[in-house]
Structure 1
């Protein structure tokens, strides 16, 4: 027995790698892009506070990581995942982390996000409480009872509202402190791409979710629907940019995002013709990367617009 134990122990990944895996780092572009877009649009309109940007970014980042931990924990608790689930990190099933550790990680991330939120309250004002409470409620009840938004087919709406609208427009608001239809317009294409990541996740997990009656949109309307919905979300983000530039809500330089369209085209073509789950797994990472590249170019367009065509 004594010479078996070291072999088992050596087969386990380092603890820090397990924590990082459970945080799902490739999905964190879902925070990076909207914060960058909202902040640079505020800069385009003449206002940029570095410390507010930094505090907002890390508060949103820890909120998303905490959401990922909660999702892992509640899917395990409610029996929605199993050891072979592709959608889960399966760290609990593999005994790489205990359920208590995953829950503790989620709570710890939320605590950090709250502390940073308190800092924002002092920097910006009490209105930040509304953003923070709204974001945390959506994040927690995305997986948890009694609402379990993800299991009721409402995950797409919640992700669009939280990661698309709330984070993009919220990052703008904490800089300028006023409503802006232009900032709202900037949030729309980002929201579409955020939702596309979730939908790609749901398409990949179609068989598993159907088996446990998790009513995601692909489970409700079929796998083909999920594939076509993915195409609509990706192409819709570019259509939204075009329309908002035409009506004057976004500066013409926003059209720079079109340089990322070939990546979206390859992504959509691969998803529409896919027949194996492995292709959908690749699709998730490609969509997350597209969101990052789209958001980066969109933000760069606002920065360039500051010098090329200053906001009136």
Structure 2
């Protein structure tokens, strides 16, 4: 009898943890890895690297993104933007796998962890780092929540570019080397565009659901064809802009190694432009997330390689 109860408890605990992890949308978390690696690698290229600072920055950004995903799940449910059949949602609340309060609590918990790590960075770097943290938290929370609801007003793409492009990349550089850098800003642009491409793929996939509830994402505002073409611009633009920044001497020549990943981008765009079913966009999201990670890894490694050149 005790063995049966023990197995039952373990099973319940296992399922609960799987649900927590699923709701964090783990396949999107590469969007944190790339900017932090690139910003840190650029600082190392310029001669500075502190492991403890890197780890605190990475986990602060990671918990901030996980918390954002929890809040997005909660507020889309609360505002009636999701339903049991929504492709974009984990639907854990509708399936009664988690209560709305649990999802909200998960978001708050993650934000607290991110904030505590931010306080640690403040002691390491200086009080000015609080500006990065506050900007990140405000964008992350009001991405889904009232009164701004950026994601429902077609401003989600801009906020993702600022938060997961500029703030994370340049911020990861700044905590290592405490000064402004045009090179860090340049490095943040292609990384940010690829982060936006992940969101755009989500919005293209959710086009019908968002249209039904008047959630004004860019594909809803300008059409599905625009969403597909915007995806191509974001992906190809990342490579073009990296090349321009190299020519302008904002990034080292080794950064051109990112072109090794271009076949992945080309196949991705071709599949998206030719897709006819929503399921194809689900695959597209995962492939875009993978491209974002691979691009970021190659760019970071190329910056480290440039140290030896």
TM-score, normalization by structure 1: 0.95
Show the counterpart of 1:72.
73
Where does 1:22-33 land on structure 2 (aligned, <5 Å)?
A: 22-33=23-34
Equivalent-residue separation in structure 2 for 1:253 and 1:12 (angstroms):
48
Instruction: Indicate the RMSD between aligned Cα atoms, in angstroms.
Output: 1.6
- 1:272 counterpart = 2:273: yes
Q: Which residue of 1 aligns with 2:149?
A: 148
| Deviation, structure 1 residue 183 | 0.7
Which residue of 1 is the match for residue 89 of structure 2? 88
Alpha-carbon distance in 1 for matches of 2:238, 2:168:
17
The answer to whether 1:133 aligns with 2:134 is yes
User: What is the aligned partner in structure 1 of residue 295 from structure 2?
Assistant: 294
- Aligned partner of 1:255 in structure 2 is 256
CA deviation after TM superposition for structure 1 residue 247, in Å: 1.1
Q: Which residue of 1 aligns with 2:57?
A: 56
Mapped contact 1:12–1:96 kept (Cα < 8 A): no
Report deviation, 1:12: 11
Partner of 1:159, secondary structure, is helix
Partner of 2:29, secondary structure, is: helix
Q: 1:307: how far off?
A: 1.3
Structure 1: unaligned runs, 5 residues or longer: 1-6
- Deviating above 2 A after TM superposition, structure 1's stretches of 4 or more consecutive aligned residues are 10-13
Q: Secondary structure at the match of 1:87?
A: coil
**In 1: Cα distance, 2:143 partner to 2:79 partner:** 13
Q: In 1, distance between residues paired with 2:57 and 2:121?
A: 7
Aligned residue pairs, count: 302
Within-5 A mapping of 1:1-312:
14-308=15-309
SS at match of 1:248: coil
Tell me the SS of whatever aligns to 1:297.
helix
**1:259 shift after superposition:** 0.6
| CA displacement, residues 212-243 of structure 1 (integer Å, 9 cap, x when unaligned) | 00000000000000000000000000001111
SS at match of 1:307: coil
After superposition, give the CA deviation of every residue in 1:238-266 in whole Å (9 maximum; x if it has no partner): 00111111111110000111110000000
Distance, in Å, in 2 between the alignment partners of 1:231 and 1:87 is: 21
Report the CA distance shift for 1:52/1:280 in structure 2 as closer, same or farther (over 3 A).
Answer: same
Deviations 1:271-304 (A, max 9, x none): 0010100011111000000000000000000111
Provide the rounded CA distance (Å) in 2 between the counterparts of 1:246 and 1:307: 20
For 2:189 and 2:118, how far apart are their aligned partners in 1? 24
Within 1, Cα distance between the matches of 2:134 and 2:181? Answer: 21
* Aligned match of 1:3: none
Q: How many Å separate the matches in 1 of 2:183 and 2:140?
A: 26
How far apart are 1:122 and its partner, in Å?
0.6
**Cα distance in 2, alignment partners of residues 168 and 182 from structure 1:** 11
> 1-side partners of 2:13 and 2:211: how far apart?
31
> Any idea what SS the aligned residue of 1:175 has?
coil
Structure 2, gaps ≥5 residues long: 1-7
* CA positional deviation for 1:11: 10
Q: CA deviation at 1:27?
A: 0.3
